[in-house]
Amino acid sequence: MSYTFLLPCANPPAPAINLLASKISRTRPSFPCRSSMEKQQLIKGSKLMEFPYLTDPHRDTMVDLISAMENRLGSHLLPSSVPPDVEHYQNESGTSQGTLHIRCGIDSSPIDFVLASWLHLEQPTGGALDITNIAGYLKSSTDVPHFQFELVKCSPTFLILFLDLIPRKDIVFSPDYLKTYYEDTQLEKFRQQLDQLPEVKPYFSSSLYFRCVVSPTGILVSIKCEDGAGPERVEEIIREHVRPMSNDIMKIWIDMCVGEGVQVGETERAVLEKRDSLIKSKAIQMDLSSSMPKQFGQEVADRVLRVIKSVYNV
């Protein structure tokens, strides 16, 4: 999922990054495998984990989620094969920066890839947009939903949050799918909890297509705290609500991933693959291809996009 799905403007200022590493890299990582400890340290020392432009609660939320993925799914994943100049990149003046961390699943894992990134985008109108993104995509051998967390800081008093387990099937056609992954897991309670805060409002993406991608319990909201202690209240909401519920939903998702799961037959696999592929193609078509060059220049955009398309397999 591209996080520019979230941006309301007709001409989105943010590029999207999501995935990377060619199919080959999934079985042949571009650098030798490191021990678990070494990998942890690699991430810890990376530009990704610096989160230079975020508030403490926002950074803590990202660190929690990345750590949960690394710790619980580490044995499923190959080391990152993102080239250094895509792991961290910037525009010519250095005012806009991006990072990208991706690890593909090993052959025997249901994980296709996990991804984490942040983007800092200077806006022509002043101010900056800070986008953080964590995703976990599954292979078509399972029908477990994809995980997606995106938190966009539009200003110190205005955020957009997308937190969802993205369905792999048409739920209208598959009531059992709804029951297994959304009703039995009681995901709705998280959405309702956030919905009770007066600063939180449902957010409508400008993309009608994206609205259809979101699950029925998907959290897609704006958080606006313009009165009184605005920035402090935003931080409080992240610390007391967004962070704990993101951790809870990540845990539910990881439990699904490492659990028994549903065995998917050949015909259904083809359908899942096509549906996933349509979502990814639509994401690239909608924003990556046009906004990335604007934000980072053609050369950088081409480099990052090549990697993304390769992992998207589109």
Q: Is 60 in the site for a second copy (CB under 8 A)?
A: no
Site string for a second copy, 199-238 (x = CB under 8 A): ---x-x---xx-xxx--xx---------------------
Q: Is 9 in the site for a second copy (CB under 8 A)?
A: no
| Closest to 168 (Cα-Cα) out of 185, 134, 141, 143 | 143
CB of 24 to a second copy, least distance (A): 29
Per CB under 8 A, which of residues 259..278 are in contact with a second copy?
Answer: 274-275, 278
Q: Is 8 in the site for a second copy (CB under 8 A)?
A: no
Stretch of 43-51, 65-73, 121-129, 173-181 contacting a second copy, by CB under 8 A? 173-181
Secondary structure (3-state) at 306: helix
Task: Identify which of residues 49 and 264 has a Cβ nearer to a second copy in the complex.
Answer: 264
Q: Is 137 in the site for a second copy (CB under 8 A)?
A: no
Stretch of 11-19, 172-180, 244-252, 292-300 contacting a second copy, by CB under 8 A? 172-180
CB of 91 to a second copy, least distance (A): 31
First vs last Cα of the chain: how many Å apart?
13
Q: At 130, which helix (H) or strand (E)?
A: strand 128-138
| Closest to 62 (Cα-Cα) out of 78, 71, 51 | 51
Kindly state the DSSP code that residue 140 receives in the 8-state scheme. T
How many residues in the chain? 314
Where does residue 79 rank: exposed (0-12), middle (13-18), buried (19+ CB within 10 A)?
Answer: middle
Say which residues have a Cβ less than 8 Å from residue 154's Cβ, sequence separation at least 6. 129, 160
Q: Is 173 in the site for a second copy (CB under 8 A)?
A: yes
Contact 99, 115 (CB under 8 A): no
Q: Is 188 in the site for a second copy (CB under 8 A)?
A: yes
CB of 257 to a second copy, least distance (A): 21
Q: Is 183 in the site for a second copy (CB under 8 A)?
A: yes
CB of 167 to a second copy, least distance (A): 8
Task: Identify which of residues 45 and 175 has a Cβ nearer to a second copy in the complex.
Answer: 175
Measured N-to-C along each axis, helices 243-258 and 188-195 cross at an angle, to the nearest 10 degrees, of 170
Secondary structure (3-state) at 133: strand
| Closest to 149 (Cα-Cα) out of 242, 87, 46 | 242
Binding region for a second copy (CB under 8 A): 170-173, 175, 178, 182-183, 188, 191, 195, 202, 204, 208-209, 211-213, 216-217, 274-275, 278-279, 282
